[in-house]
Amino acid sequence: MFLNNDEEKMLQGEYGIIVQKSMKILVTLGDVFGAERMVKVKSVHISGISYKNIGDPALEFLEEWANNGAKTRVHTTINPSGMDMERWRDFGISEAFAKKQIRIIDAFKKMKTCKSLSCTPYLIGNKPQLNDHIAWAESSAVAFSNSVLGAKTNREGGPAALASAITGRTSMFGYHLDENRNPSHEIYINEPVNGVLEYSTLGYHVGKKLGHCIPFFKNLKKPNIDELKALSAGLAASGSIALYHIYNVTPEEKKFRENSYERIDVRKRDLTETLAELSIEEKNEHICIGCPQCSMREIAEIARKVAGKKVKRELWVFTSSIICKEAKLKGYVDVIERAGGKMISDTCMVVSPMKMMGVRGVITNSCKAAHYIPNTCEIPVALKNINNCIKVALGK
């Protein structure tokens, strides 16, 4: 692969051992995937932050890099951790777990990443522009940034994303190249799709059918940002879809309108069946909203629904600390907490140790959560739309 002078110096160790190791990771990946050169990235998003997921070996690796002078050179955000970094004691997290999680976050702070822990970096200031090259991990955010924002990223793993943050580069292959962004299938929506749960289910259904292809959705009404966030997460959870197009909605779709692709029809009953397959109704006591983490609009909606009432079951609302602080200023946090709900920052229902936190079953509106929680947390998940989630929380 061609390297310019600066990249060659990085590889030869002129900027230190950590930059050299990072460049080696990227060059190796580039060679494997046939990249001809590197490209500068505008931003990075790193996953693999929760101690529950990465454990001691990754914690030691991160500390070693941080202590040896690793520093990000582009805007870098990081995914949710395994706990609310301020209020972890309130949620039953053990001292032993918290200590390790704090060490992980301290290592990232030392490397100069953003302090807010979020899987929706595009809602907290890491919002790439059309055609920006970026290096993002976190599958739902990758699908959102490629598709809705028209930025260019592969579905990075945590170490490669960290290497990109440290060098400001990634190897030019995969979705960085225009010729790899063409749709493979037309997904024709026969009946209207509405709301976050239905978009999440649509994504999950199509991801399961297509695996790693590029769908081009037609006949979808204009989804809002939360519906696109849910669609992105669903597509990436059941398959490994990192890019999609929507007629009249996403920025690159006009290029592909005239071509024809293998057509798959989606009807309401496909979504109903997918939902039924995923949803396990047992003793689900905890209502958890926010996978991907909640936007301000979603928090406002929850606040409106519970205002002046009292929840009869646990209602947990997950978001980033930046959005949580803004929601507090707007009064939504107080409304939710007066109703007995809890706002939880920096983490999510999948990457936190839910059993340790006393959770025995979850009700949520996210197919991604329903896909992962039974395996990662060993508890059942039932799926309901947001109205019904809140109704159950209020004991109706």
- Structure-token match 């301290």, residue found: 106
User: Is there a cis peptide before residue 380, judged by omega within 30 degrees of 0?
Assistant: no
Please tell me the distance from the alpha carbon of residue 167 to that of residue 353, in angstroms, as a whole number.
Answer: 33
Which C-beta is closer to ligand F3S: that of 81 or that of 284?
A: 81
Which C-beta is closer to ligand F3S: that of 50 or that of 171?
A: 50
- Is residue 152 exposed (0-12), middle (13-18) or buried (19+ Cβ within 10 Å)? buried
Stretch 349-378 residues interacting with ligand F3S (CB under 6 A): 350-351, 368-369, 372
CB of 368 to ligand F3S, least distance (A): 5
By CB under 6 A, tell whether 80 contacts ligand F3S.
Answer: yes
Sole window of 96-104, 248-256, 265-273, 347-355 interacting with ligand F3S (rule: CB under 6 A): 347-355
Pair of tokens at residue 81: 């951790």
Please tell me the distance from the alpha carbon of residue 342 to that of residue 91, in angstroms, as a whole number.
Answer: 10
By CB under 6 A, tell whether 46 contacts ligand F3S.
Answer: no
Which C-beta is closer to ligand F3S: that of 80 or that of 174?
A: 80
By CB under 6 A, tell whether 79 contacts ligand F3S.
Answer: yes
Sole window of 177-185, 241-249, 253-261, 285-293 interacting with ligand F3S (rule: CB under 6 A): 285-293
Buried b (16+ CB within 10 A) or exposed e, 309-327: bebeebbbbbbbbbbbebb
By CB under 6 A, tell whether 327 contacts ligand F3S.
Answer: no
Q: Quick one: angle between helices 158-167 and 51-67, nearest 10?
A: 30
CB of 259 to ligand F3S, least distance (A): 31
CB of 14 to ligand F3S, least distance (A): 36
Which C-beta is closer to ligand F3S: that of 70 or that of 233?
A: 233
What is the CB neighbour count within 10 angstroms for residue 365?
A: 27
Provide the CB-side half-sphere exposure for 352 (13 A, CA).
Answer: 28
Question: Which residue from 83, 348, 354, 383 is in contact with ligand F3S, where contact means CB under 6 A?
Answer: 348
By CB under 6 A, tell whether 345 contacts ligand F3S.
Answer: no
| Amino acid symbol at 45 | H
DSSP 123: G
Question: Which residue from 233, 324, 370, 394 is in contact with ligand F3S, where contact means CB under 6 A?
Answer: 233
Cα–Cα separations (whole angstroms), residue 324 to 66, 141, 214: 28, 19, 34
Question: Which residue from 128, 183, 223, 292 is in contact with ligand F3S, where contact means CB under 6 A?
Answer: 292
Q: Residue 145 in contact with residue 251, Cβ under 8 Å?
A: no
Question: Which residue from 147, 293, 295, 364 is in contact with ligand F3S, where contact means CB under 6 A?
Answer: 293
Question: Which residue from 116, 140, 345, 364 is in contact with ligand F3S, where contact means CB under 6 A?
Answer: 140
CB of 60 to ligand F3S, least distance (A): 23
Binding site for ligand F3S (CB under 6 A): 79-80, 119, 140, 233, 291-293, 348, 350-351, 368-369, 372
